[in-house]
């Protein structure tokens, strides 16, 4: 498929420093909001957020639920 990179991601796009700052601020806000609820982002969530900040994925791709994030941990009982 033309225009797609590895793993179906869009090729790395160049964004302005202002846009990168807006994306970083949005992720920081979300991270703080989640933290106030008593949760923290997993390593996979942090990597996913960084892909958004780096313009490797769009906002639409960033906010879509990921299959790995929907898997519940197995009960230890």
pLDDT of residue 74: 62
- pLDDT tens, position by position, 13-36: 689 999 999 999 999 999 999 999
DSSP percent split of the chain into helix, strand, coil, nearest 5? 55, 0, 45
Q: Using CB atoms within 10 A of its CB, is residue 61 exposed (0-12), middle (13-18) or buried (19+)?
A: middle
What is the per-residue pLDDT for 73? 62
Express as a percent the part of the chain with pLDDT over 70: 71
Give the burial class of 53: count Cβ atoms within 10 A of its Cβ; 0-12 exposed, 13-18 middle, 19 or more buried: buried
User: pLDDT by residue (tens digit) across 60-73?
Assistant: 999 998 777 666 66
Q: What's residue 6's pLDDT?
A: 47
């Amino acid at each position: 498929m033309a225009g797609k990179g590895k793993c179906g991601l869009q090729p790395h796009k160049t964004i302005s420093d202002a846009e990168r700052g807006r994306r970083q601020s949005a992720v920081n806000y979300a991270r703080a909001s989640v933290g106030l609820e008593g949760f923290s982002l997993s390593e996979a969530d942090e990597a996913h957020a960084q892909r958004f900040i780096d313009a490797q994925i769009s906002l639409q791709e960033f906010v879509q639920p990921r299959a790995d994030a929907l898997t519940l941990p197995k009960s230890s009982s």
